Amino acid sequence: MQGITLKPLVSAIALALTLSACGNDDPTQMAAASQTSQPTQAQAQAQAQAQAQQTEIVQINAANPFFSDYDTPHGIPDFAAITPEHYLPAFKEGIKQQQAEIQAIVDNPEPPTFANTIEAMENSGELLGKVSSVFFNLTSADTNDQLQAISKEVSPMLSSARDDIMLNDQLFARVKAVYDQREVMDLNTAQAKLLEDTYKQFTRGGANLNEQQKAKLRELNEQIGKLSLEFGDNLLAETNDFMLVIDKQEDLSGLPQDVIDQAATTAAKNGLEGKWVFTTHRPSMTPFLTYADNRALREQLFNGYIERGNNNNANDNKVILANMAALRAERAALMGYPTHAHFVLEERTAKTPENVYALLNKVWPAALEQAKAEVADMQKLIDAEGKDFKLQAWDWWYYADKIRVAKYAFNEQDTRPYFSLDNTIQGVFYTANRLFGITAKERTDLPKYHEDVRTWEIYDKDGKLMAIFMGDYFVRDSKRGGAWMNDYRSQEKVNGQNVIPVVVNVLNYTKAPDGEPTLLTFDEASTLFHEFGHALHGMLSDVTYASQSGTSVPRDYVEFPSQVMENWMTEPEVLAQFARHYQSGEVIPQALVDKIQAASKFNQGFATVEYLAATKLDLDWHTLTDTRPQDAAKFEAESLANMGLIEEIAPRYRSTYFAHIFSGGYSAGYYSYIWSEILGADAYEAFKEKGIFDPATANAFRATVLSQGGSQDPMLLYKQFRGKEAGIEPLLRAKGLLKD
């Protein structure tokens, strides 16, 4: 539970625990000891050093912001007061407190009830949740060597603490006693769901295993957790280590001026004034691959990207990921599941890997056929230019853009002047206001973890404050790649009082030089709409229990609201409200909007195939039954060959940098994006049928999807909104893959 008013830790107890752990420093006893045995100079120095360290620890704990309520507006984390030294003591105390709370549930002499067992568990771990929310958000968005070192120490501690709960026989006996009475208990829908989910957590956490098996499960969980951290650290190092340094003006041929300027800024930051630097961060890499005329340099940068974690150096990930896959297979077998994918998908809306493969195989043939047609078109262009080479993967963006320009007279760079970051942010707020009546008020005086973060108070249509929203938009070395939403506090109800969420969107746009606006491509602007869809899911949540709040839904459902949100970005009515030229203020011309719409189905063969290839690779790794580590390079090559991936396309993520599945929460779940896309495309049909801002449809979407979080079965909620199951046709039609 992460409430807005958190129960304070009794500081005296924390200090007493610290003192007892560091040894006795009672002055009378120290004096007595000195009378009987005079310490040597070395002993005196050691005592002085120990006392200094002890004093420092006492001071740190006394001032630890996690050990009391944040004295900040809206209970936002006190980022300015939090230092790396605060985390470990808070984690340790948080674990200790939750252990005591769990023991109190076990020792309760009263018969097990929903309130004294299930709700009591739900409300445990307040301090642990408080420190975890800050720490793990920052290790993704603004990490450093200290945080990474702490993460390596904390990860096994948390894994062990979780196992202590999930493998507690006495606790499980109480949970099972309540679960066995569920049919005769007067529980509401959310309570029944919480009870069912809690019981499943235990059975899926190993509660039914014998003692020897439980010990093995603990060992496997700890090993997998450590390897996951190593994978992520290696990938971050590989990404930050690679630089394509250009020192000749002619090698910049074809690149837009703003891309060149940013490369010069990147070079200067790395002490390479007068040169230009491109990296494997997508905001730097994608424009280079799209516009750079120098084919050899495109190949160099592309290979720098796809070989991350595969360079046989200290950051190589092949052995790590192979061991993770093997350990996951072993753990699944221990738990009685055929594969890790079967274990994972039991809790997803897809239910089985067979269902996922069946879905992918419905889309794959049409996508692959379209991709091959795209290859043929690009090869014709290469031949027409008099070039004597066969299209390769590093040529795709470059020649696809040429064909886009030729077919649609559309260059995505032409969209940049109309999508300044500030205007696009106002665009998502405008859309949310039209749909749900919410408004945003920016505050520059609220706590934030980095100077680039912007913060808004979000008000509901009745004028009540409903959420705090943070936006962290710019790429930096301390931030992992990609785009995501998370929260620093989940919405819940405590003693009947609503607790507002603190939600953050994190993206990786290239920051413009000082004094200039950050300009986005149409696709980058669309990503902002996507992530704000996740934010709405968190901010519009209206549930009782934090564990059911907002995006606390199955992985293959969580992308659904964000996929829906993307659709408004392409609507002329919405574009007219915010897509204005950053200099003239001119609304984006309808002719350019028409080109955007016409080109929206362009290159969808490539986009769908590269995604599906990564999805199939994920499933192949996690449907392994062999618990011996595989040769990672050989396994990947065979997987891609078996699916028939053409050589001109690399999977969106190769194994060695597939962070979603080896250092994130998407193992056996990367398919979730297309699963959610199907729901999103089908759901948006309802808005198209009745009007994109139809109040009744918007209210129904909020009531059945956005506000309910994980308090009910998500597919039942979807059917309540749509009145039917989702069909695949709207998605195929949207991608131009449905043949008439």
Q: In whole angstroms, give the CA distance from residue 329 to residue 554.
A: 21
91 phi, psi to nearest 5 deg? -60, -45
685-721 b/e with 16+ CB inside 10 Å = b?
bbbeeeebbbeebbebbbebbbbbbbbbebeebbeeb
Look at residue 36 and tell me whether its pLDDT is greater than 60.
Answer: no
Task: Tell me whether residue 433 is exposed, middle or buried, using C-beta atoms within 10 angstroms of its C-beta: 0 to 12, 13 to 18, 19 or more.
Answer: middle
The predicted pLDDT at position 735 comes to 87
| pLDDT band, residue 52 (cuts 50/70/90) | low
The end-to-end CA distance of the chain, in Å, is 52
Long-range (24+ apart) CB contacts under 8 A made by 219-226 are: 220/327, 220/330, 220/331, 220/334, 221/159, 221/162, 221/163, 221/331, 222/156, 222/159, 222/160, 223/323, 223/327, 224/324, 224/327, 224/328, 224/331, 225/155, 225/156, 225/158, 225/159, 226/152, 226/155, 226/156
Average pLDDT over every residue of 648-674: 95
Q: Rounded to whole angstroms, how far apart are CA atoms 165 and 172? A: 9
pLDDT band for position 596 (cuts 50, 70, 90): confident
Mean pLDDT of 527-551: 97
Q: Given pLDDT bands bounded at 50, 70 and 90, which one contains residue 261?
A: very high
Tokens at 54, concatenated: 């002890």
Plot region of 255 (φ>0 → left; ψ -120 to 50 → alpha; else → beta) = beta
> For strand 439-443 and strand 454-459, is the pairing parallel, antiparallel, or unpaired?
antiparallel
Q: Is 273 a catalytic residue?
A: no
CB 283 within 8 A of CB 508: yes
List the one residue out of 678, 470, 469 whose CA is nearest residue 563.
Answer: 678
Residue 465 pairs with which residues in a beta bridge? 459
pLDDT at 22 over 80: no
Question: Residue 40: pLDDT above 80?
Answer: no
The C-alpha atoms of residue 692 and residue 123 are separated, in whole angstroms, by 40
Distance CA 552, CA 561 (A): 13
pLDDT at position 10 over 50: no
Quote the pLDDT of residue 597.
83
CA distances to 1, 508, 663 from 546, rounded to whole Å, are 6, 28, 24
Question: Is residue 219's pLDDT more than 80?
Answer: yes
Predicted confidence at residue 386, as pLDDT, reads 96
What are the residues facing 262 on neighbouring strands?
none
Between CA 735 and CA 367 the distance in angstroms is 9
pLDDT bucket at 600, cuts 50 / 70 / 90:
confident
CA nearest to 552, candidates 487, 460, 506? 487
Task: Identify the pLDDT of residue 98.
Answer: 97
What global pTM score does this model have? 0.80
- Provide the 3-class DSSP secondary structure of residue 439: strand
Report the alpha-carbon distance of residue 248 to residue 36 in Å, rounded.
Answer: 78
Query: How is the chain split into domains, by residue range?
Result: 11-208, 242-306, 339-408+603-734, 416-597
pLDDT of residue 54: 54
- Distance separating alpha carbons of residues 191 and 197, to the nearest angstrom: 10
Does residue 121 register a pLDDT over 60? yes
Instruction: State how far the Cα of 58 lies from the Cα of 218, in Å rounded to an integer.
Output: 33
CATH topology of domain 339-408+603-734: Neurolysin; domain 3 (1.10.1370)
Q: Which three-class secondary structure string do you get for 83-116?
A: CHHHHHHHHHHHHHHHHHHHHHHHHCCCCCCHHH
Taking the C-alpha atoms of residue 56 and residue 52, their distance in angstroms, rounded to an integer, is: 6
Residue in 239, 58, 286 with CA at minimum distance from that of residue 143: 239
What are residue 254's phi and psi, to 5 degrees? 95, -20
**Structure token pair of residue 322:** 């192979």
* pLDDT the model gives residue 34: 31
Q: What is the dihedral of CA 540, 546, 550, 556, to 10 degrees?
A: -170
Q: How high is the mean pLDDT of the chain? A: 90
Does residue 45 carry a pLDDT above 80? no
On whether the CB atoms of residues 554 and 348 are closer than 8 A, the answer is yes
- pLDDT given at position 13: 23
Per CATH, domain 11-208 is 1.10.1370.40: yes
- Per DSSP, 442 falls in state E
Q: Is the pLDDT of residue 663 over 60?
A: yes
Q: How far apart are CA 101 and CA 120, in angstroms?
A: 8
Residue 678's nearest CA partner among 560, 587, 588, 566 is: 560
Can you give the pLDDT at residue 285?
A: 96
Lowest pLDDT segment from 48-52, 562-566, 577-581? 48-52
Report the phi/psi class of residue 690: left, alpha or beta, with left for phi > 0 and alpha for psi in -120 to 50.
alpha
Q: What are phi and psi of 100, to 5 degrees?
A: -65, -40
Encode pLDDT of 65-114 as tens digits. Answer: 999 999 999 999 999 999 999 999 999 999 999 999 999 999 999 999 99
**Could you tell me where the beta strands, DSSP code E, fall in 428-541?**
439-443, 454-459, 465-474, 484-489, 492-494, 497-499, 502-509
- Whether the per-residue pLDDT at 145 is higher than 50: the answer is yes
Burial (CB < 10 A; 0-12, 13-18, 19+), residue 636, is buried
Q: Which of 531, 636, 677, 685 is catalytic?
A: 531
Question: What pLDDT score was predicted for residue 179?
Answer: 97
Taking each helix axis from N to C terminus, what angle separates 84-107 and 41-62, rounded to the nearest 10 degrees? 70
- The first and second tokens of residue 360, run together, are 């992918």
What is the mean pLDDT of the segment spanning 645-673?
95
Summarize the confidence of residues 484-509 as an average pLDDT: 96
What confidence tens digit (pLDDT) does each residue in 446-487 have?
Answer: 999 999 999 999 999 999 999 999 999 999 999 988 899 999
- The structural architecture, per CATH, of the domain 416-597 is Orthogonal Bundle (1.10)
* Reported confidence tier of residue 29, pLDDT bands at 50, 70, 90: very low
